Structure 1
Amino acid sequence: MAIQTRYEDDGQSLVLSVQGYFDFSLHKDFRQAYKGAEGVRRFVVDLRDTEYMDSSALGMLLLLREFAGDQGGEVILRHCSREVRKILEIANFQRLFQIED
């Protein structure tokens, strides 16, 4: 599976690690990875092993942001490669998400 999840901070944070290509082929798996998250306040998307992302990946991040917001939570994008960070900046995602190194 190209998406792995783990909880941190006593279940307060859910980390979704995306490996390889973050594109439409991961839509179902990405959504399933966070859908049942109860009591989570921080959704961290770890992009350390993400080689590429397309516009559908940006859409998936927006859906996660909406889901998190409905629960009073936040989304953090972490460990972006230079290429992925450039895609996020072109889309102005730094205005919508906290992006960490």
Structure 2
Amino acid sequence: MVERFFDKKTGCLTITINGRFDYSCHKMFKEAFTSVTTAASYDVNLADVSYLDSSALGMLLLLRDHAGGDRAQVRLLHANGAVLDILKIANFHRLFNIAE
């Protein structure tokens, strides 16, 4: 399940994923960030993610490209141990700000 919240004051779009982050989330995840054209930054809350696969990594890369590539302000927040390990193995700590 994917939820979004846009803070008009800060310009930050927060996307929260619950449960499995896999291809079944693709449409909802993409709609979450393409539906807000004025976002200055993006937070992806991974606190309740129980599973993450390669399609989820691809979706995060799509978000990064949408947000401006190397100039993007995208934070991955509250990843649990297993999810954090996958992100580090994929070297996502070099592409994203990963915060607890």
> What is residue 76 of structure 2 aligned with on the other side?
77
The whole-number CA distance in structure 1 between the counterparts of 2:85 and 2:26 is 22
AA matched with 1:19: N
Unpaired runs of 5+ residues, structure 2, are none
Residue 60 of structure 2 is matched in structure 1 by: 61
Is there any run of 5+ residues in structure 1 with no aligned partner, and where? none
**Whole-angstrom CA distance in 2 between matches of 1:64 and 1:34:** 7
Question: Once superposed, what is the RMSD of the aligned Cα atoms?
Answer: 1.3
Counting matched residue pairs gives 99
SS in 1 for 2:47: coil
Aligned to 1:6: 5
**Counterpart in the other structure of 2:26:** 27
Aligned partners of 1:11 and 1:39 also within 8 Å: no
Q: Deviation per CA, 1:17-56: give whole Å up to 9, x if none.
A: 0000000000011001111212211110000000110000
Shift >6 Å, 4+ stretches:
none
Q: TM-score, normalised by structure 2?
A: 0.93
Please give the TM-score of this superposition, normalised by the length of structure 1: 0.92
